[in-house]
Structure 1
């Protein structure tokens, strides 16, 4: 039996595939070795769903945000073995998961727009070029934390339309102090900021909310996709909740910039399952 995991900063999708092709799936919190210490990750890995597979799994394919350098890959691999025992573990970046899920063995540009953002030029087998992805403080253009941060800035500076502010305050008694405490003092400020995208999405017919998404996606294309060689002639594929639930805005920005958007998936786990089934 093999176990596949696609982990972003907010959630992780897991699928266990048996030799007969039977599939078990479940979801846990997200993992990111850049933002979490090993003890916290180990605690979050010890869920009933994962522990129940101990002794059943022979190989684990873990694709995760922050799994780029060898140090982070070794940390994640060690933690998985701690929970599941002596299994073979392959750790790679979540961008590789996006490429395998959307492109398969064909060339294209693979992108992630979830809590954070990332992109890579894929030749059908591996990522051959990758733009910097410095995280929610310095990057994540187009991702939930980026758009949510702009939204919260407008709230703090009283730069959002009055009707949007009033509707927001009807849903939650938000204050400037509360925002600053969540961003500067509590864990996972990226998840906190991205959480406001639900409200922005629900009101995206309002020009202000629509423009927040449009501008975020425009920044993403400019900083990422349009920096790749011959990007105009390559299919551009996306995974992630922000891309999926706002696909019509994303495609509009792509059209305005002369970029061909092909596949948009909410999560890559189904595509990854197909990719790895031949390993059973």
Structure 2
């Protein structure tokens, strides 16, 4: 039996593949090993996953865990140790979320895999492992086209009174924010990236407005230029996307990609279904 996980900082999606190919689904809190110690990791796994599994832990033969914070080093080793203690007979692998996306959207074929959610990331995937990647710089230095970038551009346009009158009025009615509140949240509050990304929903609901359509299109165009088109022979490979922003704005994303000579294949909200197929094969 195979257990597969795709974990963010807030939640973890699990799939259990039984001996006859049947799939069971589970959801637990996020298991970022950078932010949680051994006791917290073990507690979440025991209380939210193990007790609900239909089989004894010793019957799990393979565990593939992909998640935020699972870069090589001590945090990943700590999480792998917790998983090995819980599933003593299993082969355990812990990998980062970019490899999860690559395997989830590309399967066993070479391609360019991209994350387009709150933040952004990308890599060239050879069909089994990540062969190369453009550095992800986070929401301050990069993340063009991601949710935080979209929110940042919207807020800047609002504060500079660049929004069309109808969009400006809708924004005021929805949020009723002044400059001091925005500046405080962005520069003094925690999780500024998530705060900024929260405004992407407003853009989505008004995405037919020419100003906001162009804002999203511009963000995706910059992402393609600074990421996808940096890979050698990018035009020869399919490009895949995972993440809420790419998924919900897929029409604009495909248009921008077409205009840049980029062939987009899969756009998914998350990689867990594809990961399940990958490990079945």
TM-score normalised to the size of structure 2?
Answer: 0.85
Which segment drifts farther, 39-48 or 130-139?
A: 39-48
Structure 1 CA distance, aligned partners of 2:82 and 2:191? Answer: 20
Residue in 2 aligned with 1:77?
A: 80
Structure 1 residues 39-188: aligned runs within 5 Å? 42=41, 45=44, 48-53=47-52, 56=57, 57-78=60-81, 80=83, 84=86, 86=88, 88-188=91-191
Structure 1 CA distance, aligned partners of 2:159 and 2:50? Answer: 44
RMSD: 2.7
Query: 1:169-189: CA deviations, max 9, x gaps?
Result: 222333333333433444432
1:204 paired to 2:203: no
Question: Which segments of 5 or more consecutive residues in structure 1 lack a partner in the other structure?
Answer: none
Structure 2 CA distance, aligned partners of 1:47 and 1:167? Answer: 46
Kept in 1: contact 2:41–2:79 (CA 8 A): no
Structure 1 CA distance, aligned partners of 2:147 and 2:61? Answer: 35
Kept in 2: contact 1:144–1:193 (CA 8 A): yes
Residue in 2 aligned with 1:243?
A: 246
Structure 2 CA distance, aligned partners of 1:170 and 1:80? Answer: 48
Local SS of the residue matching 2:266: strand
Question: Which segments of 5 or more consecutive residues in structure 2 lack a partner in the other structure?
Answer: none
Is the radius of gyration larger for structure 1 or structure 2? 2
Local SS of the residue matching 2:76: helix
Change (3 A) 1:161 1:222: same
- Shift in Å, 1:48: 4.4
Structure 1 CA distance, aligned partners of 2:44 and 2:96? Answer: 18
Structure 2 CA distance, aligned partners of 1:18 and 1:175? Answer: 54
Query: 1:76-101: CA deviations, max 9, x gaps?
Result: 4345567x464643111212112212
Structure 1 CA distance, aligned partners of 2:179 and 2:36? Answer: 29
Change (3 A) 1:20 1:225: same
Query: 1:63-87: CA deviations, max 9, x gaps?
Result: 12332332342244345567x4646
1:27 paired to 2:30: no
Local SS of the residue matching 1:178: helix
TM-score normalised to the size of structure 1?
Answer: 0.86
Local SS of the residue matching 1:89: strand
1:12 paired to 2:7: no
Kept in 1: contact 2:38–2:79 (CA 8 A): no
Kept in 2: contact 1:9–1:115 (CA 8 A): no
